[in-house]
Amino acid sequence: FPALSAAGGDFSVQQARNRILSSLETASPDSYRPGEVIVKYKAGAVNTQAVNERIGAMTVREISGLPETALVKIPAGMSVPDAVRKFMEDPSVEYAEPNYIWHINSTIPDDTYFSQQWALHNMGNTMNSIPDADMDIPEAWDITTGSRDIVVAVVDTGIDYGHPDLGLNVWQNTDETIDNGIDDDLNGYIDDRIGWDFVNEDNDPLDDHLHGTHVSGIIGALGNNGTGVAGVNWYVRIMPLKVCDADGYCSDADIAEAIDYATTNGANIINASLGGRNYSQVVFDAVWHAANNSVLFVAAAGNDTNDNDNSPVYPSGYDVWNVISVAATDQDDRMASFSNYGATTVDVFAPGNHTLSTWPVYLFPQGYDTIEGTSMAAPHVSGLAALLMDYYRHFTTYQIKQTILTFVDKLPQLSGYVATSGRVNAYKAVSSLLTPTDLMAEPTNSITLKWSDNATGEDGYYIERRSLLDTTFSYYDKVGANTTEYIDYNVNVGETYFYRVRAFNSIGVSLYSNEASATAPNPDSGSGGGGGGCSLTGRYSDRIDLGLISVVAVMLSVLLYRRRK
């Protein structure tokens, strides 16, 4: 990287300094990290430590890839603007500036009514709502907007499969030839090309109510298509299973059959925005069968302002590991006035008040309207689960559930009402174990690894290593959260080593980073070496320090030799 031109040129040192000082005049204190500045020393500056010491600062780390540039910690009591100006006055400094805070670019779709979907992105413009009382969906969409590889079965009143915001995301049974009167896939249902109607016992799961279409739109209305609303997933396959009639009534038998159909026909998630107070063993057995086949079951907690711990509601109240029971919040991040709750039997909150979504266009030509209920909260969770299953394809269903319930927004006003005391947060969940990227291995006096820490919920990073002669990687070490560098001293001169890293937490691990390799150099005079490794932000001491063992062995040998003499 060439130094800035000292005189003339398109962008001189003085121009850079002027821009920095101009920005500094208008920058608010919350726009940069307190106690830190970034310093670019002049090329050839002999003693950068002395420059820092003149104002009582110390280097935190060198900025990777930018020569003579460092992140510096300034002394307590000194403001960032004062530190910048003091560094600028030093003749050995090219420039200094605050460590400004940036924000990710949120993915905002062009759907007509997206601004009214406060549950996904609350800007405070709906019913005098509180800004950011939402799921942080646009931030999650920066990572994934879904995939048609994931199937969500909607056990409900059916779906308007001709709706312009839903049609392309309706599940297709490609093993069935439509309208040939034959059960081509031998699943017990003739011509079930797009699901099944268990009420009328036919292959047309058309919604003659509105509820199922509304729920389906929350999960998977087409996103960024210039019309209507956006689902939590822009791309997902919705399997419509009609179990409720035009008046909204559903039977245990139909529900159980629909759950079994979803389980045996490839659904990853079942959304059940329905419920009752009577315990049904047949529905329990169907949910249990879904659990045995690793199908996640998301259910609404109910709308009676009821404590479900004292008076259970089913199927959300079934004590089966694959069930997520969902209560509803409003646009102010408070428990919705109608919502059931339960400190032990209800898992989590999700937005459910005044929710805009799709309506059947043949019943309601406008095609969109708002309704409310835990029926609307549950599909927000089902949609989030589908996003997670798309990104974390190596996760088990249990790990998906735990990720949803762990990475929530814990809010004091929700404490004690559900097991997590929180409302789902899509960004926290999806970003929790993002794959580390940009792994580099640099030969220094040893081998230094550097990578980008993308995860937001990791407990640390596993480091794996292999030599040129090894065919597989082996676990080598682990370091703490927010670590981006690691030094491996336990190397043999001239030998090439290959590395990869991945994030971990109590739930699981991320995918692996790219692989990186380096050949161990001859150590500089006085650089020592020893054994083991270290990270720049702390490490776990679970490896034997081979270098230390070597030193001790040599000392013992000398002592024994002297004793013999």
* Ramachandran angles phi, psi of 85, nearest 5°: -65, -40
Q: At what angle do helices 281-292 and 252-264 cross, to 10 degrees?
A: 10
Where helices occur in 103-186 by DSSP H, the ranges are 137-141
**For residues 274 and 255, is the Cβ–Cβ distance under 8 A?**
yes
Cα 481–chain centre separation: 16
Taking the C-alpha atoms of residue 150 and residue 400, their distance in angstroms, rounded to an integer, is: 13
Taking the C-alpha atoms of residue 408 and residue 526, their distance in angstroms, rounded to an integer, is: 50
Taking the C-alpha atoms of residue 35 and residue 50, their distance in angstroms, rounded to an integer, is: 19
Catalytic entry in 156, 165, 197, 409: 156
Taking the C-alpha atoms of residue 190 and residue 176, their distance in angstroms, rounded to an integer, is: 8
Taking the C-alpha atoms of residue 298 and residue 353, their distance in angstroms, rounded to an integer, is: 18
- The reply to whether 30 belongs to the active site is no
Residue whose pair of structure tokens reads 């404590």 in the numeric block:
307
Residue whose pair of structure tokens reads 């001709």 in the numeric block:
162
Taking the C-alpha atoms of residue 205 and residue 157, their distance in angstroms, rounded to an integer, is: 8
- CB-based contacts of 410, cutoff 8 Å, min separation 6: 420, 421, 422
- The reply to whether 333 belongs to the active site is no
- Give me the residues paired with residue 202 across strands: 197
**For residues 59 and 69, is the Cβ–Cβ distance under 8 A?**
no
Catalytic entry in 129, 375, 382, 431: 375
- Which burial class, exposed, middle or buried, applies to 20 when counting CB atoms under 10 A from its CB (0-12, 13-18, 19+)? middle
- Give me the residues paired with residue 424 across strands: 408
Taking the C-alpha atoms of residue 347 and residue 270, their distance in angstroms, rounded to an integer, is: 16
Taking the C-alpha atoms of residue 297 and residue 563, their distance in angstroms, rounded to an integer, is: 73
Taking the C-alpha atoms of residue 339 and residue 171, their distance in angstroms, rounded to an integer, is: 31
Task: Please list the helix, strand and coil fractions of the chain in percent, rounded to the nearest 5, in that order.
Answer: 25, 25, 50
- The reply to whether 357 belongs to the active site is no
Catalytic entry in 211, 214, 354, 380: 211
**For residues 219 and 238, is the Cβ–Cβ distance under 8 A?**
yes
Burial 447-460 (b: 16+ CB within 10 A, else e): bbbbbebbbbbbeb
Q: Where in the sequence numbering do the catalytic residues fall? A: 156, 211, 375
